Amino acid sequence: MNLLVQDNPAERRFEILLDDSLAGFVAYRVEAGTPVLVHTEVDPRYAGKGVGSALARGAFEQLRDRGDRVRVTCPFLLGYLERHPEYAPVLVDD
């Protein structure tokens, strides 16, 4: 299984491609210059196969590597962050 996570700013989402096909995405909006991660969706064919976690990891790693700070309202991503506190530095301090 060949997975690739990439930011698609035109669609305002991080996408995960599985063998070059869209398998899921994290949608975001920008509020006062800060990205807000609002929704995660994975194609039902890939549910329970780790695609959502790979998408979350890839998105947070890209944000961290770019030095971006974000807010998260998506319940899936909030749960992921509870299990992976190493990504907490990408969160905006409220």
Confidence of residue 2 (pLDDT cuts 50, 70, 90): confident
CATH of domain 3-90: 3.40.630.30
Nearest 5 degrees, angle CA 73-CA 76-CA 82? 85
pTM for the model:
0.94
Q: Which pLDDT score is estimated for 25?
A: 99
Q: Which pLDDT score is estimated for 28?
A: 98
How is the chain split into domains, by residue range? 3-90
Is the model's pLDDT at 35 over the cut of 90? yes
Give the separation between CA 80 and CA 44, rounded to whole angstroms: 19
| β strands within 1-94, DSSP E | 3-8, 13-18, 21-31, 34-42, 71-72
Tens-place pLDDT, residues 42-59: 999 999 999 999 999 999
